[in-house]
Structure 1
């Protein structure tokens, strides 16, 4: 106990200063300067309109804030221990200029509600940029799918050739997932659009504040209602980064397919020279290294999102540093690496093409149209599918043993048909050959969601409509943010004339 009474140490301890406060100051000062300025201005407008401060007090505070913005080179600020961050720097400058009046700007607010508002503003800005990149990628996928609607590919399951499809059909599957990811991100963006200001430390304030006015001036849709939740709930963080993670988990699977498809053994995806690096020692090797970088960056982005969510695990349901400065700085890195993936993939994928000759050879070598032969037997010979399957399997075994294309296997088919049914087939060689062609296989898959041109065309119209709706919602949100900036600028300018 006596040691506590004789403690003459002063905050901050040098190690705490070096390991925490200096790094925190550097990391947050940029967005603090931008978004804290907006919060200060909006709060001051509200203090004037509610009569909490009188017009002369407000005019002096507004003028001092304007001077501080003009005089301060934020980038040049360094942590000295005098001011913990930009908030305390501004307050100190206000008090230096105005004396005790400088401390009145903080009436009816706290670092708690301010911090969460700052982070939401910073995240909102990053989501807006990333959204545009996602929308550009989605449009590129739709355009490429439309252009490649009839381009044959080998579709793989379990790493093995399975059935023919089209590049357009494959890309539409990826587009569908991306649109769902964008819808999830859109919902997470809605959680960013509710303002914590007015919660103060925990329980709002005894002053007659107008939470809706501050929320509107900062571009939020509405205040976040429960004041305890304003400073304790971090689901805007966990929800956003969970949604963001899924984008890159799912794109990573698409990227991995590109690595597989462009391998020498498969070779159905042609990567143009602009995206190929030649080996320094083996001049015959074409290394599509952007695929590896995208795969790596997608994984890193997903991992950074996991860090954000896992940091919140088992934290108390209250205001705490675990959800504030340093973790937010770490989370911004997910937007940076994610942006690199999206921009590279948007350029890379449309530039690639399908090697038709390799697709044809792989199709023949693996008998990937055999399912349509079985379906044809069910339709034309009125067999059960199990009978048809046995005939198709025996036919495939025969042509694979002879190393012939399936279209050349009519003799094997006739033998298998008679062995299974005890009669001759009604199909002739031409009908058999037609039934096992990739073009026929695709053309007959006309059901909704199938690869036939008309089905794919209908699906693309649906996807384009979904993308337009999502973009329209984001545009409305962006317009509100832009309009609020203009309203805040005008309202603050009017304070200077009070």
Structure 2
């Protein structure tokens, strides 16, 4: 018999019981549900609403139930449609009237909101830890290859040479922003709805500040209607997960390209690759592809919750039962993707020779040659045009800029002198980018030091 069945003459059917049950999803929040009940019962006793003996019996009973759940010995019953009713019904069977008094002054509406906030606050913190680990891995890989030069791309065409370490560092900064979004989601979840009851508060003399402190929340939610109906914190978390998955998808797309025969920039470890059932030579970057693919599901979780919340009137509606599965999936998926990406980056082999060979293609010294003329007084637009003519000449001859003679350069502009050869050396070109945020060695060292400081600061924030 359901705990709310007093007003009903018939029970729901077997199908509708299963259709309406959230237990398969929300039983993950058992620890949070028990914590909320412990805080609530202790506060009720403190306020004189229930006796100290009842509170003690409740605490002992809940401790035993938690132990059974963790030992996978708890008798979950789908007829108790959610984690709250599952725990309370067994508790009541075991300790009698004291268990029936536990729900005094609260509703499943504020109870589930409390559980969800506690759970998602915890998960956000765990995601922040996984985010830090991936950033450390990227930074370490960049530090291991300080001199590797690779092509930098725009429109997936060769553009200018950059350091491989500089390229990897771009992802550490993306992930640093993701950390900030996860931290904001954790802060959004850090508010206590317990005591709002169904929607209007309660006539019992509850101390919401006491439960806020007991549960480790930063503050109680000031409006009871908002307390039971707000799911913005879930949107914040899934949005943070979605953006980070998009960043991981971009990283994995590059790893997939770089590990192909056409690029050969990196070789993925066997432990992060798979083969083909028909082609013996194949070594596929399947795990990078999986991360790229899973990003779509996480973004889908965000869209699903946004549509669930669209046009919902205040306060609680059963639609909100659909809020947790997508958020849990997004968090679980992102954490797995962080771990997988960190493993791939840590174990991959970087092929600096292949990177340099490709960097020598595509006239990537062209911008520096134009800058050479501009520094000698030629307006940059004219310098740009002159170097364009030289590139066209190279295409006609089937050679590179470094293959042109000084006479070829001077035929285009008398400003060219013998020192133009220095503008054609890729390591020199890279090293010259010394402005803050640039790809030069010294600039990248500064960037790495800042990234390390940011890592340490973010780790301290946890």
Aligned twin of 2:417: 427
Number of residue-to-residue matches in the alignment: 454
Deviation at 1:102, TM superposition (A): 3.3
| 246, 256, 281: which one aligns with 1:259 | 256
CA-based RMSD: 2.4
What displacement does 1:452 show? 0.8
Residue deviations 1:169-200 (CA, integer Å, cap 9, x gap): 11111111110111011011101111111111
Structure 1 match to 2:327: 331
Cα pair 2:406 2:417 within 8 Å, conserved: no
1:270–1:30 distance in 2 versus 1, CA, 3 Å: closer
Unpaired runs of 5+ in structure 2?
Answer: 1-7
Summarize deviations over 1:126-152 as a string: whole Å, max 9, x none: 223222111100111122222223210
- 1:446 CA displacement: 0.7
User: Matched residues in 2 for 1:157 and 1:242: separation?
Assistant: 28
Check the 8 A contact 2:266/2:351 in 1, yes or no. Answer: yes
1:209 aligns to 2:206 (yes or no): yes
Partner of 1:13: 13
Secondary structure at the counterpart of residue 154 of structure 1:
strand
1:135 paired to 2:132: yes
Alpha-carbon distance in 2 for matches of 1:365, 1:95: 75
Structure 2 counterparts to residues 301-450 of structure 1, below 5 A: 301-324=298-321, 326-379=322-375, 381-411=376-406, 413-418=408-413, 424-428=414-418, 431-450=419-438
- 1:297-330 CA-to-partner distances (Å, cap 9, x unmatched) read 2333333333233322222232122223x43123
Alpha-carbon distance, 1:77 to partner: 2.6
- The answer on 1:299 being equivalent to 2:291 is no
Say which of 236, 239, 252 aligns to 1:239: 236
1:27 corresponds, among 25, 40, 52, to 25
Q: Which structure has the larger Rg?
A: 1
Corresponding residue for 1:51?
A: 48
Q: CA deviation at 1:274?
A: 4.2
C-alpha contact (below 8 Å) 2:410/2:416 kept by paired residues: no
Counterpart for residue 79 of structure 1: 77
Identify which range, 135-144 or 93-102, moves more after superposition. Answer: 93-102
2:226 and 2:411 map into 1 onto residues whose CA distance is 71
Q: Cα gap change, 1:30/1:170 in structure 2, threshold over 3 Å: closer, same or farther?
A: closer
Residue pair 1:109, 1:199 contacting (<8 A) in 2 also: yes
Write out per-residue CA displacement over residues 228-280 of structure 1, whole angstroms, 9 at most, x where no aligned residue.
21111111111111111110012211211222223322333333444443444
Q: 1:99 to 1:79 in 2, by over 3 A?
A: closer
Q: Per-residue deviation at 1:351?
A: 2.6
Contact 1:153 1:354 in 2 (8 A): no
Is the contact between residue 149 and residue 167 of structure 1 (CA under 8 Å) also seen in structure 2? yes
Q: Determine the structure 2 residue equivalent to 1:486.
A: none
* Structure 1 unmatched runs, 5+: 1-7, 419-423, 475-498
Where 1:286 maps in the other structure, the secondary structure is coil
Q: Given the two structures, how large is their TM-score scaled by the length of structure 1?
A: 0.84
Q: Is the 8 A contact 2:18 2:78 kept in 1?
A: no
Structure 1 residues 275, 66: CA separation in 2 closer, same or farther (over 3 Å shift)?
closer
Q: Distance in 1 between matches of 2:194 and 2:459?
A: 28
Alpha-carbon offset, residue 357 of structure 1: 3.2
CA separation in 1, counterparts of 2:126 and 2:204? Answer: 37
Instruction: Tell me which residue corresponds to 1:121.
Output: 118
User: Which SS does the other structure have where 2:205 is aligned?
Assistant: coil
Q: Secondary structure of 1:365's match? A: coil
- Give, in whole Å, the separation in 1 of the partners of 2:58 and 2:294: 46
- Is the 1:442–1:452 Cα contact (8 Å) retained in structure 2? yes
Partner SS state of residue 102, structure 2: helix
Measured at CA, do residues 286 and 400 of structure 1 come closer, stay the same or move farther in structure 2, by a change above 3 Å? Answer: farther
Aligned equivalents of 1:80 and 1:452: distance in 2? 62
Contact 1:202 1:228 in 2 (8 A): yes
How many Å separate the matches in 2 of 1:40 and 1:322?
24
**Conserved 8 A contact 2:124-2:237:** no
Distance in 1 (CA, whole Å) between partners of 2:346 and 2:58 is 54
**Range with bigger deviation, 235-244 or 357-366:** 357-366
User: Are the equivalent residues in 1 in contact too, given 2:150–2:358 (CA < 8 A)?
Assistant: no
Aligned-pair distance for 1:461?
1.9
